[in-house]
Structure 1
Amino acid sequence: MPPFDAGGRVPEGHEPSGPAPTAVDRVTDVVRSEILSGTLAADEPLREEAASERLGVSRHTVRAAFQRLVAERLAVAAPYRGVRVASFDRETIIALQQLRAALEVEAVRIAGERYGSAWPDAVLAPARYALDRMAALGGAGFETGAAHPPQPAAEIDWLEAERIHAEFHGALVAASGSPRIIEAHGALGSELLLFLLHVRPHYTLDTLVAEHRALLHEVQTRGPDAIREHLEHSTALLLGR
């Protein structure tokens, strides 16, 4: 997430930097994207030899990448079955959403105690920025910029929309200023994106943006109840699918 100035704006020309990705990073990114886009289906085997040949890397590199995906709960490793894409069954959905609620509800409660029913612009800026970026994927443009022609639904980058969706919820948690809650929520990372992949069929991009713009208002005015109801709604969508 980029830094914001005192007015809640992203400094012009700011670019994130970091160490160059390793071969394990690159393989992990490729396979992660294939899982989160649905290209690799739940319970599909992940074969070291096939991935090694396809991606032009050693089996040792592939094995290390698969271990990372297991740690992210995107894959599972079992004796005699090897590594497979994680399934997303009823028990997994409920457990994940219970953990999210414990963290996000408490984060909103803390933010409400600190800021009342009108959070400062600088605190709201990351969540607003995420929603603007999500809307821009559909051609809506940023609130301060010109609109572009709407994108056909088939051309929307849904994986990017889901990453931004996760950033929005991370921004709500960050409003608490609680380092341990922020750290614990950030560790959900890829598993949260897997949840969003499964809830995707229940939304258009427009309804997703609209629902979360309303949520950003409601967490300030209604506090923990608003985020609790939001999470219960998405859980019900999947369990009733």
Structure 2
Amino acid sequence: MSPHSADTAVERVAEALRAEILSGTVALGSPLREEAAAERFGVSRHTVRSAFQRLVAERLAVAEAYRGVRVVSFDPDEIVALQQLRAALEGEAVRIAGERHGTTWPDAALAPAVAVLERLEEIAEAAPGARPPAVDAGAGTSSGTDTGDGIDWLEVERLHADFHRAVVAASSSPRIVEAHDALGSELLLFLLHVRPHYTLEGLIAEHRELLGAVQLRGAEAMREHLAHSTELLLRS
């Protein structure tokens, strides 16, 4: 197998497992078995091992001595730590944006976040009143994509993450943007598990309000928003 083919095989396995974790099909804390994955995907165990390493690097999985690799457990301490990091990055980003733009950000700075909200509204209009499926942290869900209501909930979570990235990008601070982008899949996993607490319409309304609030109140508004989602997940 050529190096290019090997890389492609690794990414194919990693992408399939990543999608299952982010859809909730594979439960938090589930072991990832090298031999079973090699047989399932028709690849070598070395390829599977490399795919697992990518998931570990993305903080979707953890490797433990003598216990192998498992999907992250996302326990309360990890939730709090992730949200503290987000508050530091997103709070500082909106503070910087406020210094640059004042309390009314220009259309160019707002446009990416507004575009995300408009796409979410299109999805909501196609399936009014739809509620996201529950996510059982112990057993997983049968599907995290189209759940019969016409909505691809994984797309919703990606758009939710894109909204926050767009707000961070309004800071025009390349290092903060880079650090926030590095949260990547870990942020999507958080959003998967917070989604049962929202209707789609409620998610849109909350983030439209947030977009106005961060212009007026900066980091305080963002910290309040993130604290609310942390509380929802910790008490679930």
Output the amino acid matched with 2:72. Answer: A
Q: Distance in 2 between matches of 1:122 and 1:56?
A: 47
Partner of 2:85: 99
1:204 Cα deviation from its structure 2 partner: 1.1
The answer to whether 1:69 aligns with 2:69 is: no
Partner of 2:210: 215
- Preserved contact between residue 60 and residue 185 of structure 2 (Cα < 8 Å): yes
1:136 Cα deviation from its structure 2 partner: 2.2
Q: Distance in 2 between matches of 1:151 and 1:137?
A: 11
How many equivalent pairs are there?
Answer: 215
TM-score w.r.t. structure 2 length? 0.86
The answer to whether 1:181 aligns with 2:176 is: yes
With over 3 angstroms needed to count, the CA separation of the structure-2 counterparts of 1:46 and 1:101, relative to structure 1, is same
TM-score w.r.t. structure 1 length? 0.85
Partner of 1:197: 192
Deviation per CA, 1:49-106: give whole Å up to 9, x if none. 2112222222222111100000111001111111001001110011000000000000
Partner of 2:116: 130
5+ residue gaps in structure 1? 1-18, 141-147
Q: Distance in 2 between matches of 1:80 and 1:161?
A: 37
Higher RCO (C-alpha under 8 Å, 6+ residues apart): 2
5+ residue gaps in structure 2? 132-146
The percentage of aligned residue pairs carrying the same residue is 69
Q: CA RMSD in A?
A: 1.8
Partner of 2:68: 82
Q: Distance in 2 between matches of 1:179 and 1:201?
A: 33
Partner of 1:58: 44
The answer to whether 1:238 aligns with 2:233 is: yes
1:152 Cα deviation from its structure 2 partner: 4.7
1:126 Cα deviation from its structure 2 partner: 0.7
Which residue of 67, 90, 99 corresponds with 1:113? Answer: 99
The answer to whether 1:23 aligns with 2:19 is: no
